[in-house]
A and B are shown apart, each in its own frame.
Chain A
Amino acid sequence: MSTPEKKNMKVALFVTCLVDLNRPSVGFAAVKLLEAAGCTIMVPDVQTCCGQIAYNSGDKESAKAIASQVIRAFEGFDYVVAPSGSCAGMIRHHYKELFDGDDTMMVAVEELSARTYELTSFLHDVCGYAPRDVSLETSLTYHDSCSSLREMKVRDQPRALLGGIKGLELREAEDREACCGFGGTFCMKYSEISEKMVDTKIDNLIASGAKTLAAGDLGCLMNIAGRLKRRGADMKVLHVAEILAGMGDKPGLGEGGN
């Protein structure tokens, strides 16, 4: 990789629909981190969602319409960064499939694809960022979301960043590359199978002995946190951006008090 240009990168934040609705603090954590890494942050106003829900449900036309909206809204920035491997993966990899054969769109699609990143890999790989003066006394286990891991090749970056948090002890869980059973609408359409998958995941997370769970995708986190609450299990659930931005002491998902 060439030497990163650390100053004045114009970065557009792709907030993601789940962060926008459910946990805006993740968005603000992302902004804080990106600014600390020397980026100028813009949040295009017309963004709603990346279109993945339609895409994975087979509604290709709706997915294309939403993707076109994203492509237009995110023109002209140096980078597009999302606090989610899943949404970033949709933009980077799947828009090309959506517009396959459409030469007029493909230039813009490929151009957007090339500058779209998942947050932790952007901070680590592009900005060369490392957290300073952030501490959190806890033991933590990190859940690799499938799309971060397999589509965006994000595995070591969040761990490297978390390694810079003072007082944080990382405990890897068994079978950490296994899916948590979220899968977008899958978790509602096939709730019993999803339940089995998330329970297997939770058993492994708890067995790690960690008090806190972090991941880079809010979908997985809402699924796991929701099931933890239903089981009455005690584990704090945070997005990795919140921890890195020094917001690790705020209530976790499903804890109230926000």
Chain B
Amino acid sequence: MQVTSRHFKKGAHEALHDENIQSAFSRVKSGFPLARARAAGELPEFEGLRDEARDLKNHILQNLDYYLEYFEDQVLLQGGRVHWCSSYTEARDVVLAICKEANAKTVTKGKSMITEEMALNDHLEKNGIEPIETDLGEYIIQLAHEYPSHIIAPALHKTKEQVTELFHENHGKYGLTERITDPQALVNEARQVLRDKYVAADVGITGANFLIAETGSTVIVTNEGNGDLTQSLPKTHIAVSSIEKVVPTLEDASLFLRLLARSATGQEMSVYTTFSTGPRRMEDIDGPANFHVVLVDSGRSDLLGTDKQDLLRCLKCGACMNHCPVYQAVGGHTYGWVYPGPIGAALNPHMIGLEEARDLPNASTFCGRCEEVCPVRIPLPKIMRHWREQAFETQVTPKPERWGIGIWAFFAKRPTLYRLMTRISARSLKGMAGKKGVIRKLPLLTGWSSVRDFPAPEGRTFMEQWKKQSQEGK
């Protein structure tokens, strides 16, 4: 996919003036957060579970190599195969090779963020293989040639009318020529198209919410059941997963499962939670003949042991973006790469480069709602601040901004000079305002006065008045 993070401000401007985006993303704030609050409130041990989940993830990350190798051993014992990939290129090639080995023409796909990162669909298409997204939201944006604007509701930015048009344009070839507007009928039509694809598919590709070391299982959660059909009907199942998804035991997976859906959609559990362990055995009634796990690193291990390691705890629930006022204002695509919202602002600079993603960790008021709801307590504002520090140190921060901070700090470090400056400023700003009490245009602070008036100072600084009072003995 094309990375557009460096155009964040331009994207934000456009999104703020796009009625569809505004109506779609303003709905986020009333829906998901209320549902999450209710679900969290109904589980007395919810906050304690968050602590446990944080601690367990930290333990896993400290022993990541051990658990991954443990997982690999178990997958092999179950008759599956594990492919270690350090880069997207390697991972794409591995998936393609497996597909070719299976003589695949059609591949069904369950929802997976790592394959979005890898831009897997483009790679398969270029090599003559048709990938079909089977999650309804993913299917819609695949037809539109777009990428997700939300990690659990990928087509959030699409209106019902746009879906009608997309289906009308794309489903004619299946003999479905009627223009459908009813949402349920749209779902049914997608289901009808996808049913045939499930059966036709030679390979099914899914992501993994968890990899369980003790059993060698991969776990996916969905609400549509599409993942189950994707991974059990074709002859070959490929589970693509980033390396940090491994958990030691089934019991551990259940800890995260109790937090995941509650944090994401406010459900107690997602509708389907599916465990895949190896290929089909003699006594199984269905399942794939071949089971592959593709483990992708792509920069993640570089985060281990750094001040940003906490990012690897992420469960991809989307709670941070659901509660983020900036995300609600500008929508998902403005962030310019796979992950939007606070997790994107904290992670993307590592994945696509700080220079490209510089705006992302800066475009935050540090309001702290994301950290407040993160099920694994990732200190997202703190990590964004670390990026700002890195940008400042490596001169990625633009010069005018650096100078501004420099000048201000120069005075702030010299109280006597600072007093003089503030006394002059208070008087002149009050003078500029006159009787109005506000200043309409601030020449040096146009970012302020382009959207708001500046409430004028009272005229004399506190320190000045306090000193005078003290000298007069109050």
A24 and B405 form a contact (CB under 8 A): no
Tell me whether A183 is interfacial, beta carbon within 8 Å: yes
Q: How close is B341's CB to chain A, nearest CB, in angstroms?
A: 13
Interface members, chain A 202-256 (any B CB < 8 Å): 222-223, 225-227, 229-230, 237, 251, 253-256
A58 and B438 form a contact (CB under 8 A): no
User: Across the two chains, which residue of chain B brings its CB closest to A195?
Assistant: B451
Partner of B397 from A28, A57, A198 at Cβ < 8 Å: A57
**A19 CA to B391 CA in the complex, in Å?**
30
Q: Give how many A-B residue pairs fall within 8 Å (CB-CB).
A: 207
Scoring A24, A65, A177, A230 by chain B CB atoms within 10 A of each residue's CB, the highest score goes to A24
Contacts of B397 in A (CB 8 A): 57-58
B461 and A24 form a contact (CB under 8 A): yes
Known: A192-B13, A193-B16, A254-B455. A57 touches B392 (CB 8 A): yes
A151 and B368 form a contact (CB under 8 A): yes
B393 and A254 form a contact (CB under 8 A): no
How many A residues have CB within 8 A of the partner chain? 72
Mark contacts of B307-331 with chain A using CB atoms, 8 A cut-off: 1 yes-contact digit, 0 otherwise. Answer: 0000000000000000001100110
What is the size category of the interface that chain B forms with chain A?
35 or more
Mark contacts of A54-70 with chain B using CB atoms, 8 A cut-off: 1 yes-contact digit, 0 otherwise. Answer: 11111110100110010
B425 and A21 form a contact (CB under 8 A): yes
Q: How close is B215's CB to chain A, nearest CB, in angstroms?
A: 39
B364 and A186 form a contact (CB under 8 A): yes
Mark contacts of B412-425 with chain A using CB atoms, 8 A cut-off: 1 yes-contact digit, 0 otherwise. Answer: 11010010001001
A20 and B463 form a contact (CB under 8 A): yes
Contacts of A182 in B (CB 8 A): 365
A256 and B437 form a contact (CB under 8 A): yes
Contacts of B330 in A (CB 8 A): 193
B405 and A59 form a contact (CB under 8 A): yes
Contacts of B9 in A (CB 8 A): 190
Contacts of A229 in B (CB 8 A): 438, 452-453, 455
B12 and A192 form a contact (CB under 8 A): yes
Q: How close is B370's CB to chain A, nearest CB, in angstroms?
A: 10
Contacts of B185 in A (CB 8 A): none
A192 and B451 form a contact (CB under 8 A): yes
**A229 CA to B433 CA in the complex, in Å?**
13
Q: How close is A36's CB to chain B, nearest CB, in angstroms?
A: 15
Q: How close is B465's CB to chain A, nearest CB, in angstroms?
A: 6
Scoring B9, B447, B451 by chain A CB atoms within 10 A of each residue's CB, the highest score goes to B451
Tell me whether B169 is interfacial, beta carbon within 8 Å: no
Scoring B363, B388, B401, B409 by chain A CB atoms within 10 A of each residue's CB, the highest score goes to B409
Known: A53-B405, A59-B409. A193 touches B451 (CB 8 A): no
Tell me whether A47 is interfacial, beta carbon within 8 Å: yes
B365 and A19 form a contact (CB under 8 A): no
B445 and A188 form a contact (CB under 8 A): yes
Q: How close is B299's CB to chain A, nearest CB, in angstroms?
A: 22
Q: What are 23 A-B pairs with beta-carbon distances under 8 A?
A: A21-B426, A21-B461, A24-B461, A47-B415, A53-B405, A54-B408, A56-B388, A58-B385, A58-B387, A59-B405, A65-B413, A146-B366, A181-B365, A182-B365, A188-B448, A194-B365, A198-B451, A225-B455, A226-B452, A230-B452, A251-B437, A256-B433, A256-B434
